[in-house]
Structure 1
Amino acid sequence: MLAGMVASPPKAVSSGSRRNASMSAERLQAELDVLGIQADVHVGYGMALVSVWTGLVVWTDGFVFRWWSGGISQTTGRRLYLIYAVDSPATVARCVAQRCGALKITHSPRQPIEGRPL
């Protein structure tokens, strides 16, 4: 730990933040559905994930949506993420649909996993 910094205990995740994340994710899922894109919503730990395509997962804390743009920073070598406020899920859905279209060119759909787990 750096000098002068005080560690604080993690904050408990409130049911309100879970609800906001869940509602935001479900609104995005509905907007993606309007565009003909199927997505699954998964909620937990104050976050919600919208699974769209191979390599495309949008996550939200109920305040913003985030997903990998597909780019890598030339300076740091890290992934570059897009961040949009949750107040316009239709706009976010169009941006996610654009990324999904690019991924569909390079990543073909996989068959669903069937059978018993090992």
Structure 2
Amino acid sequence: MKVVDLRVHDDLDGLSEFELLDLYLRVRRLLAARLSRQEGSESMEMFFSRMAEVVEPPGPPPAPKTRISRREREVLHFLAQERTNAEIAATLFISEHTVKNHVSNILAKYEVGTRHGAVMAAIREGTLTVD
């Protein structure tokens, strides 16, 4: 896997969606750990909201293009956390087979071939926010 030094590279266009997702999740984990150690610290969502306003002015939220059911949205949330089908099934009290069906439907709706691709597509369109 390519290591990105953001001090040197300000153009991330050369990274794959998987590498961008990995970078995004690593930054969130690092910030979450740092924020949780500070007394009276703000939540991750408040922090990212504040940072987003600095980087780009708030606009209307994008309208989701893909029709994702409530349960598929729950499964997407766990896919973003890199949970296995077995872990998702146990958490949602459904069978692994049902989880596989949800994942297949999600991949088809976003027209992607991987779980990471689905997560990236959902984040891009505003259907999913990663905690």
TM-score category, normalised to shorter length: under 0.3
**Quick check: which one's helix share is greater?**
2
- The TM-score normalised by the length of structure 2 is 0.24
Higher strand share: 1
Q: Using CA pairs under 8 Å that are at least 6 residues apart, name the structure with larger relative contact order, 1 or 2.
A: 2
